[in-house]
Structure formats: structure tokens, C-alpha cells
Chain A
Amino acid sequence: MRAEAPVREQPREHPMESLLRMDRIPHIWCPTCGIGTALTAFAAALEEREIAADSVSIVSGIGCTGRVAGYTKLDSYHTTHGRAVPFAVGLHLANPSLKVVVFSGDGDLVGIGGNHFIHAARRNVDLTVVCVNNFLYAMTGGQAAATSPLTANTSTSPYGNFERPFNLPLLAASSGAVYVARWTALHIRRLTKAFGEALEKRGFSLVEVIAPCSTLYARRNRLGTGLDLMKFYHDNSEIRHGADPNDLDIGFQEKIICGKFVDIERPTFLDAMNQRYREVFGDEYQEYGGSHG
């Protein structure tokens, strides 16, 4: 643990500091990693929408993105690999007054956590899921993930990945998510807006953030650094709101389609539960507001 480096030449503090655990900054992410940018957008969205930080709980899994919980100054839970979503489901259902955000990586959420991801979307549990997609398992050294593009070089696909990756917006939409958007870390303002919309949306919302991984994805595929990847996003991303999720596959160093693809209304898990029990039990049923003491 390093002592905080002496700060020179700045009479004021960074505006995000109230939402960061300053005793743990600087964080562990590599130079030109996009996770810090995603976190900045998230903090900005909380402020922009004036969402009370006390009511927000953030749950993350294992991985580089999973470390986000450790740096955010909210009620934060750093759980086991792939299990951030079910933990969040339990947390929210026991205490619906909490706004629960799952902030985790592509490997954690749709690799090992895939089953929980699709079922939580199916049930439409009121969660905001942020999936930072850097196309591999970064923390453990750059292994192939369910989102690695075809032909990408990773440490477990050293001759080029031959497995077709998931198309996350399609996965989420077909599972029943009510809000699905994808932005890159470069589309910082639209990303912030998407976070805000997802936070305020009732139901299972997914925001996929395409983020650069310098040390592993960029280096192994000889794409330069994270800055070069950001330049790639600049030149190769196309905004297509309302695009058909079937068209949103990402090829290796090919066009990335961004935008808001799904924004619908569906009863949440608790809505459906309350409605069913009211139908069956009539006035005898007391609408569920939280199990907590």
C-alpha cells in the first residue's frame, strides 16, 4: 500500500473525489486502461442525475473491472467470480430501497456468470449492469473470453481465437433486458448519459462499455497502447440507435456499432410478484416492500 503521493500545484480537489475511496487511489489499472474512464462516467452520471449516493450499492466480481467496487465510495461488495449478479439480486430483493449496480467485466458477467446474467435479465430484476468489455480476461493475464473477437490473440488462443464470441446486446435483449446500450470508453458523454438512463430505468438494464486493454489485448494483438485503441474507436465506431441487436457482432478490429438498442417497459420481478399475489390473495396480501428489519 503506497502512501498517497504528494500533490503539487492544485488548490482544489478533483470533483469525483467524494465518490472515490481516496485512501486507495492511485488505482491498480494500467496506463491507458479504459476502466478508470468508465468509472469516471459512472460517477458523473450519479452526480448529473442527482442520485443519492447513500442509496446506491455497487457489486462487482473478480477481474480488473471487478476492482471498481474497491475504489468507489458507496456501499460496495467485491464478491466471487461470476456471482456479482446473483448477489445483487439477493441484495435488491431483500432491500428494494437500494439502487443496486453491478459493475463487472465481460469474463465475469457472461463467461462464468453467464447463467446468472441471462436469468436476472429474464426475471427483469431491477438492476443496472455495467459490463466493461475489453475482450478478454485481463486480470489473470489475458486469456480468451466469451467476447474475444474471431482471430484475436489471447494467452489461451495464441494462434488466434476460433470461437465465435457473444454479442452482448443480443444476449441481453433476447434474455429480456429492458434497456440495452453499448458505447466505447471514448464516447464519454453519451456513456455518461446511458449510465444515467440505465440507473433510472426500472428493470434489468445493461450498458456495455467497450474499453481498451493496453497491457494484454492491445499488446498481444500488436495494436499499440490503449490510446491507439481509443483512436480506433474514434475512426471505427458508428452510432446506430435502435439497431437490431442481431447486427451488433464485433469482429476483430472491425466496425463497432454503438447506441441505445433497447428501451422498453416490462414489469420487474417484484412488480410481477406483487401483481400475482394480489390477484390470488386479494386484500389479504400486503404488497412487498422489503424484507429487511
Chain B
Amino acid sequence: MTYVRRLVLDLLKPHDPDVVTFAESAADCEGVSGVNVVLVETDKEVENVKLTVEGDSIPVDSIHEAVEDLGGTVHSIDEVACGEMLVEESETPQD
């Protein structure tokens, strides 16, 4: 069984519910030990946020459902880390 340990999502959300509600909702999912939400861009009706979730076994589907229930949409999955240990992105010459 492979566990997702880190998930980074690019989200589009309405102004209401606020980012605190989004963070709390994601943190309430079982297997999640921490959440970070950063405001990337704000518009008249919507805002773009980066949601980072870490845990021993992140329920990816539940995170998606929690986001959609709050009226958000997942633009893209920007980062995923799986396995026994957490692996950071490694630098390449192109970086």
C-alpha cells in the first residue's frame, strides 16, 4: 500500500468561504496532519490559492470532495509525495 504524504493543489475558490474554512476543512480529513493555504492571486469574485496538505496517509479523494463541497475547483495537482519517506524536490541543472 502506497501512502500519499504530501499533496499540493492549485485551487480556484470564491471569496466566501474564506481560506481559514478551506484549511480547516482539509485538516479535518482523516490521515492529514497539517495544512497550509497560501493566497496566490485575488480577483473581483474569486481567488487563487495554493493548498499544501501533509500527513501519513492523505485521502486524496476526500480532499478533492472537501474542496468541491466548499465551492472550490482544483486547477491542477502541483506536487505529490508518496512512499515510506518524504522526498523533497531535487535541484537539477535547469533550475
Partners in one complex: no
